[in-house]
Structure 1
Amino acid sequence: LPGASTAVVAKMLPSQEASKIYHDKYMRNSRAIGVLWAIFTICLAIINVVVFIQPYWIGDSVNTPQAGYFGLFHFCVGNGNSNRELLCQGSFSEFTSIPSGSFKAASVFVLMSMVLILTCIGSFALFFFCNTATVYKTCAWMQLLCAVCLVLGCVIFPNGWDTEVIRDMCGEDTGKYTLGNCSVRWAYILAIVGILDAFILSFLAFVLGNRQSDFLQEELKTISRGEK
């Protein structure tokens, strides 16, 4: 029917108006996801700082000869007496005080991951000056490298469990990648959570960056068609 077809055509939106509605909806969704991505990136930075500083990667248990706990570079161990008094030592600024070469390497890699994620947060300011897709992709690479550095830190750290001071605390069964009577503490687990977080955030940043690039190309094509 001619009248019906006219009514349908009248209800149809012009292509430019439809494109604008799609653009506005896309930008709202993109900003919302971007805000969540930024928030979780800040959370990752907090996790990274905590696992680097806190000396609770491994620790004693009820069956260990001595009380104590170890981090990447700082550790506290007892003297075997019943009062369980702890002597704390080790500092990143005094690199020679770290009891194992593996602990030193793990400390450096976790520090690198912390620097990378803090640099990523600092680069958020570039969203006001640079192409959004470029900033997302730059942050994605930094987050990916952050995850890799955390993985290396977590993998290398157990290689130093055979050092004498840990064997004294955890027992004779302790060796490389074998913790004896000691147990993994919360900072080590938090570092593993940070690895997963960094990989997910990196993937999301790559997706956001690629979608921004694709949408920009579509807009340019639409503008060029409109000019013709």
Structure 2
Amino acid sequence: MASSLTCVGVVWALLSFLSAAACCVGFFMPYWLLGSQMDKPVSFGTFRRCSYPVRDEERQATVMLEQCGRYASFQAIPSLEWRICTVVTGVGCGLLLLVALTALMGCCVSELISRAVGRAAGGIQFVGGLLIGSGCALYPLGWDSEEVQQTCSNASDQFELGSCEIGWAYYCTGGGAATAMLLCTLMSCFAGKKQKQYPY
């Protein structure tokens, strides 16, 4: 099977795929922020939430519905910062996934990834990682929203967690972005083989 990648390029392709997968899984999972409300565990992502209060008309009381789901609309996301974070992180994940799939195809297709293409792919990875990192940096600005304060004992504020804690999905997303920005971008410079010079 012909490959357009060097040995470093093959490692780059695998690492690109792993970092993109980590970012995408972390972005989709609603476990960025963990807390509790009415003695039930509650978790938030950028556009998803697990466990939320609903009004039970039969018992005339508010009960916690222990389900995970997306917000009903983009405007229903609790804060402007989280809406921006959702868009920025989503675009970043898309870029990393695009490069990762192209890099994996380079393992099987000859002359797909040259030195120049590899460096361009590294540039795209850097931008993708930067966007995701920006999304992770924006996320704590939304901790002053009413929904988060209800979960975090009314003690949360921007960059103040209150009784809540940061979840594994936040670290997974940030770690994937850092890997893409630092390691993958550097390795991409040595990923492609030099193109053969044809005499015509």
Contact 1:64 1:182 in 2 (8 A): no
Q: Which runs of 5+ in 1 are unaligned?
A: 1-29, 221-228
CA distances 1:119-177 after superposition (whole Å, capped 9, x unpaired): 21343346634561012111100110111011101000110000001100102220011
Paired residue secondary structure (1:161): helix
Structure showing the higher strand proportion among its residues: 2
Contact 1:66 1:78 in 2 (8 A): no
In 2: Cα distance, 1:159 partner to 1:123 partner: 35
In 1: Cα distance, 2:177 partner to 2:91 partner: 13
Q: Among residues 170, 186, 189, which one is paired with 1:188 in the alignment?
A: 170
Aligned-residue offset at 1:188: 0.5
**1:68 corresponding residue in structure 2:** 42
Residue 120 (structure 1) aligned with residue 94 (structure 2) = no
**2:188 corresponding residue in structure 1:** 205
In 1: Cα distance, 2:27 partner to 2:175 partner: 14
**2:9 corresponding residue in structure 1:** 34
Aligned length: 183
After superposition, the Cα gap between the structure-2 partners of 1:64 and 1:32, relative to the gap in structure 1 and judged at 3 Å, is farther
Paired residue secondary structure (1:60): strand
Aligned-residue offset at 1:55: 0.2
**1:97 corresponding residue in structure 2:** 76
CA distances 1:65-96 after superposition (whole Å, capped 9, x unpaired): 76310001011244499x864364534x8312
**1:106 corresponding residue in structure 2:** 85
Q: Among residues 123, 139, 149, which one is paired with 1:157 in the alignment?
A: 139
Paired residue secondary structure (2:160): coil
Higher Cα Rg, which structure: 1
Structure showing the higher helix proportion among its residues: 1
**TM-score under structure 1 normalisation?**
0.70
Contact 2:113 2:193 in 1 (8 A): no
The root-mean-square deviation of aligned C-alpha atoms, in Å, is 3.0
User: Which of the pair has the greater relative contact order for Cα pairs under 8 Å at 6+ separation?
Assistant: 2
In 2: Cα distance, 1:59 partner to 1:131 partner: 42
